[in-house]
Amino acid sequence: MTHGSPQKPRFDPTWVAERRRRYDHLPQVQRELSYDIQVQDEYVSWRDWLDEQLAQLPEGKADTLAGRLWQDEFFWSVIFELAAGAALRRAGFSVAYEQPLDGRSGLTPDWTVTTSGGQPLFLVEVHTDDPSKETFAQMRAWHHLVEAIKKIPVSVVLQLAATEGPPRPPEAGTAKKIAAEVQQQLLSVWNWSQPAPIRITSHGYTFLVMGDPRLGGRAMDSPLGMHAAFDPPTSRAGMVSADKLLARVADKVSKYRQLADRYGLPLAIAVGAHKFTGVTLETVDYALNGAEAPMITMQFGAGDTHIGDVTVQMGPVKPWPMPPDLAALLWIDHAFPFEMTVRPNMSARRSFPDFGQVAG
């Protein structure tokens, strides 16, 4: 289902230039999900795709989603909502976005798949598996130290030494003091031919000057040229699991079950995972199918010093039981162009229609 005449593109050069002016000061962790996609040349296909998807919606809803796209907290949820609609259209279905079925329940599914005459066929609700707000807050908090160290005129790469627990980022004022002490110690090191890592301690933090194996272990050159670079902890290191995602799927099914029952419609939940969670289709399939033995997947970045403690129960892993009111779980990949894979529930009360090749 499409709406109206083509709308004005939301990514015209004037708009992009304004976003560059407003967002240039943001840290990379914030820009990575929104700013770069808005303005960088390599993301032109994303912008074309976004314009195409937004043009399929009523103008008011399109404007609302376009505004939410550039807020980090909503970015991926909007992407996955649009991607679900795009995949349903590719499979040959007509779709309506946030179409109320009645005024009694107060519930509006993200997508209602309809016949050409507008009669509902099945419902699709979308869920995004995001890292915790605390994770994002910690990542942004390290930015003060990243920026302070960036001003040191020495071409080195710094990382924190391993710690017993997750290190806490310093306050902005402390970050400046740390950078000043680190600079003083770096400039006092006269023999840069000695093998790294060189250890520098300031305000309770121990930094390592990283070595480059290609240079015989000597200090690694900074990617920032003649300025120091600091790889901070990402605050997302640890075990990768689909447990939280599937728990939210069960919540969605419980919430929309009565609405689906009232109209006798299959209910599907489309899910996508922010890349910071590490959750992939393989992670989800492992949880859905179970295994003879546990499969442990850990994620961590170059600057991570602590990945937490993991307790694993040895023995077979039971598969996650799909709720009988869930017709299918639809996985949306977070890589462009956001392909959808269908995992039907063979024990569902109402079966899910054949998606053909989209089913994967």
Whether cis (ω within 30° of 0) applies to the bond prior to 353 is no
Count the residues in the chain: 360
CA distance 100 to 258: 14
Q: Which residue has tokens 């419980």?
A: 254
For residues 74 and 131, give the distance between their C-alpha atoms in angstroms, rounded to a whole number. Answer: 12
- Classify residue 273 as exposed, middle or buried by CB count within 10 Å of its CB (0-12, 13-18, 19+): buried
Q: Fill in the DSSP letter of residue 206.
A: E
* Sign of the alpha-carbon dihedral angle for 297, 329, 338, 341: positive
Residue 192 has pLDDT above 70, yes or no: no
Contact indicator for 225, 282 with CB cutoff of 8 Å? no
- Identify which has the larger pLDDT, 258 or 356: 258
Q: What average pLDDT does the segment 235-260 reach?
A: 90
User: Percentage of the chain with pLDDT > 90?
Assistant: 47
List 317's β-bridge partners, or say none.
Answer: 291
Cα–Cα separations (whole angstroms), residue 103 to 99, 100, 163, 230, 331: 11, 7, 55, 54, 30
| pLDDT number for residue 214 | 78
Helix axes 59-69, 44-54, angle to 10 degrees: 150
Q: Which residue has the higher pLDDT, 302 or 143?
A: 143
* Model pLDDT, residue 248: 97
pLDDT of residue 67: 84
pLDDT mean across residues, the chain: 82
Residue 205 has pLDDT above 70, yes or no: yes
- Amino acid identity of residue 8, one-letter, is K
Quote the pLDDT of residue 312: 67
**What pLDDT is recorded for position 306?**
67
Please give the residue that has the higher pLDDT: either 342 or 38: 342
- 289-310 confidence digits (pLDDT tens): 988 877 777 777 677 776 666 6
Residue 23: pLDDT band (50, 70, 90) is very low
Q: Which of 86, 135, 72 is nearest to 270 (CA)?
A: 86
Q: What is the pLDDT of residue 15?
A: 45
Q: At residue 226, does pLDDT exceed 60?
A: yes
The pLDDT of residue 193 is above 60: no
> Which range, of 119-133, 209-223, 319-333, averages the lowest pLDDT?
209-223
| pTM recorded for the entire structure | 0.77
Q: Residues 67-105: pLDDT tens digits? A: 888 777 788 999 999 999 999 999 989 999 998 887 677
How far is Cα 192 from Cα 198, in angstroms, rounded to an integer? 9
pLDDT at 52: 93
How far apart are the C-alpha atoms of 240 and 111, rounded to whole Å? 29
Taking the C-alpha atoms of residue 334 and residue 332, their distance in angstroms, rounded to an integer, is: 6
User: What is the per-residue pLDDT for 6?
Assistant: 40
- Residues 35-57 have pLDDT tens digits of 667 667 787 888 889 999 999 99
Q: What is the pLDDT of residue 285?
A: 95
d(CA 219, CA 167): 24
Instruction: Please state, in angstroms and rounded to a whole number, the distance separating the CA atoms of residues 203 and 179.
Output: 10
